[in-house]
Structure 1
């Protein structure tokens, strides 16, 4: 497995939220075709390359604008994007098997629409939603991601309980949870919930 020293990350968000879950979940679902919405510096993408390409070929699609959200105004996103490219290239160069990495720079609604038009409905084994924190954006990612996911595939959401610290309190339109809850309620007959800590939510698609 690739030595983490070859990577450059400026935060440990993934380690604090997803890593422990993925250590158990990823071997169980063993995805080959993966779609990641929101890539930032590539920490989760590198995890997937390290753990899956060690023993098989994988196809990984990463979607991001690298413009940042409302909460990233103080971050130099050009540097974030450069680190993503360097980190993922380091991971690929050390992988034991072929990694087909497709980088889609743009807004997720445009990119996911394009993937559907290209015939990738029901194509992906695992889709991870970790892009915009705006409720309307998260709901759009969920709805379109569901169509791109194969039956028995897994749809994961980061930041389920994330809230923005605003002077007037919590704005439900600027939180992922209302959108994720709306999606799971409306699709309750088409998905089953996979047990995980409340900071994230994972759903298995059981029917179209």
Structure 2
């Protein structure tokens, strides 16, 4: 399969855990915030599309965050690779896969999904968008509303920090937001034991 990825973040960090987690939870309705070149989306399509039909919502601005802009990453190329990779993998799985590409800021897209009646709709939500703490907290709260009881929410980059500046700004990384969310929602979540670069939790109640 001719998939093109310029980075190996997903394979390095997520795949070893997802290889065990995804078959266990076997989700059908999935949402990811932050799609980049489509590595996680393609993984989910390949893992699930061989045995069931799935819906996958992919939310991204494809404009990049501060760290991408500082590095001069051409985000238009990233979006083209996302489109090509997803199209390629969808053509190779035997069962229908509905990929809904939602291009826009996650706060607006997730709020719109709630307006459209998708509260408690998704089995699996992956938060890997903006690394700015206020954005991550917004994605977490809105994502929780969209997640069904029993569904799983995953936060990427729990231990990520900014390397492009001499002194890291504590609000320009996901950890404070993820900690705030899990502290406020601890009675409604069951946090999994897993390598902590990502944080995994099951929704117990609304």
Deviations 1:88-143 (A, max 9, x none): 00011001100011000000000000000000000000000000000000000000
Deviations 1:61-104 (A, max 9, x none): 00000000000021000000000000000011001100011000
| Corresponding pairs, count | 204
Q: Paired residue for 1:116? A: 114
Secondary structure of the 2:171 match is: helix
Query: How far did 1:198 drift?
Result: 1.0
Q: RMSD of the alignment, in Å?
A: 0.7
CA distance in structure 2 between the partners assigned to 1:159 and 1:20 by the alignment? 15
Matching residue within 1, 8, 12 for 1:16: 12
CA distance in structure 1 between the partners assigned to 2:33 and 2:152 by the alignment? 14
Q: Paired residue for 1:78? A: 76
**For 1:21-100, what aligned pairs fall within 5 Å after superposition?**
21-73=17-69, 74-100=72-98
Unpaired segments of 5 or more residues in structure 1? none
CA distance in structure 2 between the partners assigned to 1:187 and 1:167 by the alignment? 32
TM-score, scaled relative to structure 1: 0.97
CA distance in structure 2 between the partners assigned to 1:9 and 1:167 by the alignment? 26
Secondary structure of the 1:18 match is: helix
Secondary structure of the 2:182 match is: helix
CA distance in structure 1 between the partners assigned to 2:111 and 2:196 by the alignment? 29
Q: Paired residue for 1:195? A: 193
Secondary structure of the 1:173 match is: coil
Unpaired segments of 5 or more residues in structure 2? none
TM-score, scaled relative to structure 2: 0.98
**Contact conserved, 2:114 with 2:146, CA < 8 A, in 1?**
yes
Query: How far did 1:166 drift?
Result: 4.5
Query: How far did 1:168 drift?
Result: 3.9
1:176 corresponds to 2:174: yes
Matching residue within 127, 133, 137 for 2:131: 133
Secondary structure of the 2:142 match is: helix
